[in-house]
Amino acid sequence: MIWKRHLIPSKTSLIEAIKKLDDLAQDALLFVHNEKNELIGSLTDGDVRRGLLAGIDLNESINLVCQKKPRYIRLNETSIDKIRTFREQNLKIIPVLAADSDEIVDVINFRLTLSRLPIDVVIMAGGEGQRLRPLTEHTPKPLLFVGDKPIIEYTIDRLCLFGVKHIWLSVNYLADKFVPFCEKFNRLIDLKLVKEDRPLGTIGSVKLIKNFHHDTILVCNSDLLTNLDYEAFYEDFINSGADLSVVTIPYDVEIPYAVMEVEGNIVHAFKEKPTYTYYSNGGIYLMKREVLDFIPEDEVFLATDLMNLLIDKNRKVYSFHHRGYWLDIGKHDDFRKAQEDVRLLKL
């Protein structure tokens, strides 16, 4: 794994450490560990230089010069306050330790990622894309190219930007086409396929996954282009105390006339050319893992079914208003618009 380039045993000599730091180039930071892979220090070019100036020999152990109290985060921390603080302090690279020990399990490089969200992701990619035929006769809609890469890759790349490590693709139609696509991501993230034997709706197949790593699950459609801030979405979900939060897309409707408020034939008030805002389902959901218990086994079940069921049971369903870019690529006009938009926007 790429992040392991930043690890170095405590018994390593200074001269060997210098070579490793040189190989890391602009990411020259090492995390010193013991025989159990537990974090005991950090090492930079500056630490080595100060050690040499103090007369330490190049063949001595890096243990003599490394910093003994490096900053870190722990796996499965639900708060992102520490990550935000590190980012604002302009720290470049931070180790991630196991939840119950000091073992190094990952490294965050803020040059490559903005955050590290403790969530699992399921991307629903099983539909036939009938409205986009003939383009989808031999290619699943998520694998159609928009610009220089498949539609679904924009979603995966953005999730990786926010430090997501575990993603499942729920597939059905032309499922085998996804196998080579997944293989190219395996060095970077844990990307797996879960196959529906028959279509199970927009969220039913999530029930097929038994080995989630986190207590928060994100489910999203595979045919979306968006610049959604997943960190803000996650933080809003945690702070709201919701059982499920859905990204909603606001639509402003301007009425060109005065609107009367009436009861029977009695006018109580009127508004001159008002604007009403309505919110539509954006196809992206965050939910507590326990919410998955409401999804039936091996039945067609929609995300809207789940939300309605939670509302009926007085569970908290929350709306996260997204006013940035969002496009559902459902029809040929949407597909053409997507081709134009990716040339102009950073998605």
- Please say which residue of 83, 109, 135 terminates a domain: 109
Q: What is the pLDDT of residue 335?
A: 93
**Same-domain pairing of 95 and 145:** no
**Same-domain pairing of 190 and 338:** yes
CA distances from 71 to 21, 30, 133, 307 (A): 19, 13, 52, 40
Query: Is the pLDDT at 328 greater than 90, yes or no?
Result: yes
**Same-domain pairing of 92 and 224:** no
Q: How many CB atoms sit inside 10 A of residue 275's CB?
A: 9
- Please say which residue of 109, 138, 153 terminates a domain: 109
> Is 115 contained in some domain?
no
Q: What is the pLDDT of residue 346?
A: 74
**Same-domain pairing of 154 and 72:** no
Q: Amino acid identity, residue 144?
A: L
**Same-domain pairing of 93 and 145:** no
CATH value at residue 331: 3.90.550.10
Name the residue with tokens 């196959």: 195
Q: What is the pLDDT of residue 332?
A: 95
Rounded to whole angstroms, the Cα distance separating 220 from 282 reads 9
Query: Is the pLDDT at 223 greater than 80, yes or no?
Result: yes
Domain range for residue 304?
A: 120-344
Which carries the bigger pLDDT value, residue 188 or residue 320? 320
Q: How many CB atoms sit inside 10 A of residue 226's CB?
A: 22
Ramachandran angles phi, psi of 209, nearest 5°: -90, 125
> Is 154 contained in some domain?
yes
DSSP label at residue 291: G
Query: Is the pLDDT at 269 greater than 90, yes or no?
Result: no
For the stretch 105-134, pLDDT in tens is: 999 999 999 999 999 999 999 998 889 999
Strands 30-33 and 7-9: parallel
**Same-domain pairing of 18 and 141:** no
For the stretch 138-166, pLDDT in tens is: 999 999 999 999 999 999 999 999 999 99
Q: Write the CB contacts of 30 (distance below 8 Å, at least 6 apart in sequence).
A: 6, 7, 8, 17, 20, 21, 24, 42, 43, 44, 62
> Is 245 contained in some domain?
yes
Rounded to whole angstroms, the Cα distance separating 97 from 85 reads 17
Bridge partners of residue 13, in order along the sequence: 61
For the stretch 18-61, pLDDT in tens is: 999 999 999 999 999 999 999 999 999 999 999 899 998 899 89
Query: Is the pLDDT at 188 greater than 80, yes or no?
Result: no
Q: What is the pLDDT of residue 212?
A: 94
| Closest alpha carbon to 222 in 173, 186, 263 | 173
For the stretch 298-315, pLDDT in tens is: 899 999 999 999 999 999
| Closest alpha carbon to 47 in 35, 63, 33, 34 | 63
Query: Is the pLDDT at 284 greater than 80, yes or no?
Result: yes
Bridge partners of residue 32, in order along the sequence: 8, 41
Q: What is the pLDDT of residue 266?
A: 87
Note whether 86 and 94 are within 8 A (CB). yes
**Same-domain pairing of 228 and 250:** yes
Q: What is the pLDDT of residue 296?
A: 94
pTM equals: 0.88
State both tokens at 109: 């490089």
Q: Amino acid identity, residue 334?
A: D
Q: What is the pLDDT of residue 149?
A: 94
DSSP label at residue 114: S
**Same-domain pairing of 102 and 8:** yes
> Is 251 contained in some domain?
yes
Domain total of the chain:
2
**Same-domain pairing of 225 and 97:** no
Note whether 199 and 234 are within 8 A (CB). no
Question: Percentage of residues in the chain with pLDDT exceeding 70?
Answer: 99
CATH value at residue 48: 3.10.580.10
How many residues can be counted in the chain?
A: 347
Confidence tier at 285 by pLDDT (50, 70, 90) = very high
For the stretch 232-266, pLDDT in tens is: 999 999 999 999 999 999 988 888 888 888 887 88
> Is 114 contained in some domain?
no
Mean per-residue pLDDT of the chain: 92
**Same-domain pairing of 216 and 101:** no
State both tokens at 49: 């230089």
State both tokens at 50: 């100060």
- Please say which residue of 109, 131, 151 terminates a domain: 109
**Same-domain pairing of 85 and 155:** no
Q: How many CB atoms sit inside 10 A of residue 277's CB?
A: 9
Query: What is the spatial order of strands in the sheet that 39-43 belongs to?
Result: 7-9, 30-33, 39-43
Q: What is the pLDDT of residue 78?
A: 78
> Is 9 contained in some domain?
yes
> Is 212 contained in some domain?
yes
**Same-domain pairing of 103 and 139:** no
